[in-house]
Amino acid sequence: VFDWHRLAPLTWALLTRQTPQPGGQKRTTAFLLRKLMTVSNGGGLEESSLVKPQECAQKPEHRTGLIQRLLEKQKTPVLQEKFVSSLLDMGFSDVHVNELLSTQPGTHPQQMLDIISELILLGLNPEPVCVALKKSPQLLKLPVMQMKKRSSYLRKLGLGEGKLKRVLYCCPDVFTMRQRDIEGIVGVLKEKCLFTVKQVTEILHRCPYVLREDPGELEYKFQVRLTGGVV
Protein backbone atom coordinates (compact mmCIF):
# COMPACT_ATOMS: atom_id res chain seq x y z
CA VAL A 1 0.00 0.00 0.00
CA PHE A 2 1.45 3.34 -1.03
CA ASP A 3 1.26 6.36 1.23
CA TRP A 4 -0.63 9.24 -0.35
CA HIS A 5 2.03 11.76 0.75
CA ARG A 6 4.60 9.83 -1.29
CA LEU A 7 2.39 9.70 -4.36
CA ALA A 8 1.37 13.36 -4.24
CA PRO A 9 4.55 14.96 -5.73
CA LEU A 10 4.64 12.57 -8.67
CA THR A 11 0.87 12.64 -9.14
CA TRP A 12 0.52 16.39 -9.38
CA ALA A 13 3.67 16.77 -11.48
CA LEU A 14 2.03 14.48 -14.01
CA LEU A 15 -1.45 15.93 -13.64
CA THR A 16 -0.41 19.52 -14.24
CA ARG A 17 1.58 18.64 -17.33
CA GLN A 18 0.18 18.78 -20.83
CA THR A 19 2.29 17.27 -23.59
CA PRO A 20 2.09 18.87 -27.10
CA GLN A 21 2.07 15.57 -29.00
CA PRO A 22 0.89 15.24 -32.66
CA GLY A 23 -2.88 14.97 -32.84
CA GLY A 24 -3.42 17.22 -29.84
CA GLN A 25 -3.19 14.48 -27.21
CA LYS A 26 -3.17 15.82 -23.66
CA ARG A 27 -2.46 14.16 -20.38
CA THR A 28 -5.87 13.90 -18.73
CA THR A 29 -6.42 14.63 -15.07
CA ALA A 30 -9.44 12.35 -14.84
CA PHE A 31 -7.55 9.37 -16.23
CA LEU A 32 -4.54 9.77 -13.97
CA LEU A 33 -6.72 10.28 -10.92
CA ARG A 34 -8.47 7.03 -11.69
CA LYS A 35 -5.16 5.18 -11.93
CA LEU A 36 -3.67 6.80 -8.85
CA MET A 37 -6.33 5.60 -6.40
CA THR A 38 -5.36 4.89 -2.81
CA VAL A 39 -6.34 1.89 -0.76
CA SER A 40 -7.35 2.80 2.77
CA ASN A 41 -7.67 0.51 5.78
CA GLY A 42 -7.33 -2.58 3.60
CA GLY A 43 -10.77 -1.89 2.18
CA GLY A 44 -12.07 -0.84 -1.23
CA LEU A 45 -10.69 1.69 -3.62
CA GLU A 46 -11.44 5.36 -3.04
CA GLU A 47 -11.80 7.45 -6.19
CA SER A 48 -11.76 11.21 -6.57
CA SER A 49 -15.17 12.76 -7.08
CA LEU A 50 -13.75 14.40 -10.20
CA VAL A 51 -13.42 11.06 -12.00
CA LYS A 52 -16.07 10.16 -14.53
CA PRO A 53 -16.02 6.41 -15.34
CA GLN A 54 -17.20 6.89 -18.91
CA GLU A 55 -14.37 9.35 -19.58
CA CYS A 56 -11.75 7.01 -18.14
CA ALA A 57 -12.95 4.15 -20.29
CA GLN A 58 -12.23 6.17 -23.40
CA LYS A 59 -8.56 6.79 -22.59
CA PRO A 60 -5.74 4.80 -24.30
CA GLU A 61 -4.92 1.62 -22.40
CA HIS A 62 -1.19 2.00 -22.92
CA ARG A 63 -1.04 4.67 -20.22
CA THR A 64 -1.92 2.10 -17.56
CA GLY A 65 1.44 0.39 -18.01
CA LEU A 66 3.36 3.63 -17.59
CA ILE A 67 1.60 4.58 -14.37
CA GLN A 68 1.97 1.09 -12.95
CA ARG A 69 5.69 1.10 -13.63
CA LEU A 70 6.07 4.46 -11.97
CA LEU A 71 4.15 3.28 -8.95
CA GLU A 72 6.28 0.13 -8.70
CA LYS A 73 9.38 2.31 -8.48
CA GLN A 74 8.20 4.64 -5.75
CA LYS A 75 11.45 3.98 -3.90
CA THR A 76 12.96 6.65 -6.18
CA PRO A 77 9.96 8.93 -6.89
CA VAL A 78 12.04 12.05 -7.50
CA LEU A 79 14.26 10.34 -10.08
CA GLN A 80 11.26 8.80 -11.82
CA GLU A 81 9.47 12.13 -11.93
CA LYS A 82 12.55 13.81 -13.40
CA PHE A 83 12.98 11.01 -15.95
CA VAL A 84 9.39 11.16 -17.20
CA SER A 85 9.28 14.96 -17.15
CA SER A 86 12.54 15.27 -19.10
CA LEU A 87 11.45 12.80 -21.78
CA LEU A 88 8.16 14.60 -22.25
CA ASP A 89 10.05 17.88 -22.62
CA MET A 90 12.16 16.28 -25.36
CA GLY A 91 9.02 15.37 -27.29
CA PHE A 92 8.56 11.73 -26.31
CA SER A 93 4.97 10.51 -26.06
CA ASP A 94 3.42 8.37 -23.32
CA VAL A 95 3.88 5.34 -25.56
CA HIS A 96 7.58 6.15 -26.01
CA VAL A 97 8.09 6.57 -22.26
CA ASN A 98 6.41 3.25 -21.58
CA GLU A 99 8.62 1.53 -24.17
CA LEU A 100 11.79 3.05 -22.77
CA LEU A 101 10.90 1.99 -19.23
CA SER A 102 10.66 -1.63 -20.38
CA THR A 103 13.68 -1.59 -22.72
CA GLN A 104 16.40 -2.25 -20.15
CA PRO A 105 14.84 -2.91 -16.71
CA GLY A 106 17.08 -2.06 -13.81
CA THR A 107 18.96 0.73 -15.57
CA HIS A 108 19.30 3.84 -13.41
CA PRO A 109 16.93 6.60 -14.63
CA GLN A 110 19.74 9.18 -14.79
CA GLN A 111 21.89 6.80 -16.86
CA MET A 112 19.03 6.29 -19.33
CA LEU A 113 18.36 10.00 -19.48
CA ASP A 114 22.01 10.83 -20.22
CA ILE A 115 22.22 8.32 -23.08
CA ILE A 116 18.90 9.39 -24.59
CA SER A 117 19.91 13.06 -24.32
CA GLU A 118 23.09 12.39 -26.32
CA LEU A 119 21.07 10.76 -29.10
CA ILE A 120 18.67 13.71 -29.18
CA LEU A 121 21.62 16.15 -29.33
CA LEU A 122 22.87 14.28 -32.40
CA GLY A 123 19.70 15.33 -34.21
CA LEU A 124 17.56 12.23 -33.74
CA ASN A 125 13.83 12.46 -33.14
CA PRO A 126 12.09 10.47 -30.37
CA GLU A 127 10.79 7.72 -32.68
CA PRO A 128 14.23 6.77 -34.15
CA VAL A 129 15.71 6.87 -30.65
CA CYS A 130 13.13 4.36 -29.40
CA VAL A 131 13.67 2.12 -32.43
CA ALA A 132 17.45 2.14 -31.96
CA LEU A 133 17.25 1.41 -28.24
CA LYS A 134 14.81 -1.45 -28.79
CA LYS A 135 17.17 -2.98 -31.35
CA SER A 136 20.25 -2.42 -29.18
CA PRO A 137 19.18 -2.01 -25.53
CA GLN A 138 22.83 -2.42 -24.50
CA LEU A 139 23.32 1.20 -25.56
CA LEU A 140 21.61 2.22 -22.33
CA LYS A 141 24.39 0.51 -20.37
CA LEU A 142 27.23 2.39 -22.06
CA PRO A 143 29.38 4.67 -19.90
CA VAL A 144 28.14 8.20 -20.46
CA MET A 145 31.65 9.47 -21.21
CA GLN A 146 32.10 6.83 -23.92
CA MET A 147 28.79 7.88 -25.44
CA LYS A 148 29.84 11.54 -25.44
CA LYS A 149 33.20 10.77 -27.07
CA ARG A 150 31.60 8.62 -29.75
CA SER A 151 28.97 11.30 -30.39
CA SER A 152 31.74 13.87 -30.82
CA TYR A 153 33.58 11.59 -33.26
CA LEU A 154 30.44 10.97 -35.32
CA ARG A 155 29.89 14.72 -35.57
CA LYS A 156 33.43 15.10 -36.92
CA LEU A 157 32.54 12.53 -39.58
CA GLY A 158 29.58 14.71 -40.53
CA LEU A 159 26.93 12.36 -39.15
CA GLY A 160 25.14 14.84 -36.92
CA GLU A 161 22.16 17.02 -37.82
CA GLY A 162 19.78 14.16 -38.54
CA LYS A 163 22.09 12.10 -40.78
CA LEU A 164 22.62 9.62 -37.98
CA LYS A 165 19.03 8.35 -38.21
CA ARG A 166 19.72 5.86 -41.01
CA VAL A 167 23.12 4.88 -39.59
CA LEU A 168 21.68 4.11 -36.18
CA TYR A 169 18.74 2.21 -37.67
CA CYS A 170 20.95 -0.01 -39.84
CA CYS A 171 23.98 -0.23 -37.59
CA PRO A 172 23.10 0.69 -33.99
CA ASP A 173 26.36 -0.84 -32.80
CA VAL A 174 28.14 2.20 -34.22
CA PHE A 175 28.23 3.33 -30.57
CA THR A 176 29.59 0.05 -29.23
CA MET A 177 32.19 -0.68 -31.93
CA ARG A 178 35.83 -0.16 -31.09
CA GLN A 179 37.07 3.26 -32.12
CA ARG A 180 39.99 1.79 -34.07
CA ASP A 181 37.62 -0.38 -36.13
CA ILE A 182 35.63 2.64 -37.28
CA GLU A 183 38.82 4.60 -37.93
CA GLY A 184 40.12 1.65 -39.96
CA ILE A 185 37.09 1.74 -42.26
CA VAL A 186 37.26 5.52 -42.62
CA GLY A 187 41.00 5.29 -43.32
CA VAL A 188 40.51 2.79 -46.16
CA LEU A 189 37.80 4.95 -47.73
CA LYS A 190 40.00 8.05 -47.62
CA GLU A 191 43.49 6.73 -48.26
CA LYS A 192 43.02 3.67 -50.47
CA CYS A 193 39.72 4.36 -52.18
CA LEU A 194 40.60 8.07 -52.42
CA PHE A 195 37.18 9.36 -51.42
CA THR A 196 36.91 12.94 -50.21
CA VAL A 197 35.72 13.76 -46.69
CA LYS A 198 32.31 14.70 -48.06
CA GLN A 199 32.08 11.45 -50.03
CA VAL A 200 33.01 9.42 -46.97
CA THR A 201 30.21 11.10 -45.03
CA GLU A 202 27.73 10.25 -47.80
CA ILE A 203 28.90 6.64 -47.91
CA LEU A 204 28.50 6.24 -44.15
CA HIS A 205 25.12 7.94 -44.31
CA ARG A 206 23.68 5.99 -47.26
CA CYS A 207 25.51 2.67 -46.76
CA PRO A 208 26.09 2.34 -43.01
CA TYR A 209 26.61 -1.42 -43.37
CA VAL A 210 30.06 -0.56 -44.68
CA LEU A 211 31.07 -0.16 -41.03
CA ARG A 212 30.76 -3.93 -40.64
CA GLU A 213 33.03 -4.72 -43.56
CA ASP A 214 36.52 -6.15 -43.26
CA PRO A 215 38.92 -3.23 -43.95
CA GLY A 216 41.22 -5.63 -45.81
CA GLU A 217 38.48 -6.45 -48.34
CA LEU A 218 36.82 -3.06 -48.54
CA GLU A 219 39.17 -1.56 -51.14
CA TYR A 220 38.73 -4.56 -53.45
CA LYS A 221 34.94 -4.43 -53.18
CA PHE A 222 34.86 -0.75 -54.12
CA GLN A 223 37.20 -1.39 -57.06
CA VAL A 224 34.93 -4.14 -58.34
CA ARG A 225 31.89 -1.92 -58.02
CA LEU A 226 33.53 1.07 -59.70
CA THR A 227 34.88 -0.98 -62.62
CA GLY A 228 31.67 -2.90 -63.17
CA GLY A 229 33.08 -6.19 -61.92
CA VAL A 230 36.38 -6.07 -63.82
CA VAL A 231 39.54 -5.46 -61.81
pLDDT tens digits, 84-124: 899 999 999 999 998 888 888 888 888 999 999 989 988 88
Q: What angle do CA 196, 201, 206 make, to 5 degrees?
A: 125
Distance CA 219, CA 205 (A): 18
Q: pTM of whole model > 0.75?
A: no
**At 202, is the pLDDT very low, low, confident or very high (cuts 50, 70, 90)?**
very high
Q: Check whether 228 has a pLDDT greater than 90.
A: no
Mean pLDDT of 127-141: 90
Beta carbons of 103 and 133 less than 8 angstroms apart: yes
> 27-31, 34-38, 51-55, 215-219 — which one is most confidently predicted on average?
215-219
User: Which pLDDT does position 216 carry in this prediction?
Assistant: 85
Residue 179, SS3? helix
Q: Which of 162, 161, 159, 173 is nearest to 202 (CA)?
A: 159
Q: What are phi and psi of 38, to 5 degrees?
A: -120, 145
Beta carbons of 176 and 142 less than 8 angstroms apart: yes
Mean pLDDT of the chain: 73
Torsion sign (Cα): 148, 137, 210, 188: positive
Helices (H), the chain: 4-15, 29-35, 53-56, 62-72, 77-90, 94-103, 109-121, 126-135, 144-156, 164-170, 179-187, 197-206, 215-226
Beta carbons of 220 and 231 less than 8 angstroms apart: yes
Torsion sign (Cα): 89, 115, 137, 81: negative
Q: What are phi and psi of 201, to 5 degrees?
A: -60, -45
Burial 76-110 (b: 16+ CB within 10 A, else e): ebeebbebbebbbebbbbbbbbbbbbebbeebebe
DSSP string, 182-209: HHHHHHIIIIIS---HHHHHHHHHH-GG
User: Which pLDDT does position 173 carry in this prediction?
Assistant: 85
**At 196, is the pLDDT very low, low, confident or very high (cuts 50, 70, 90)?**
very high
Tens of pLDDT, residue by residue over 159-176, are 877 788 888 888 888 899
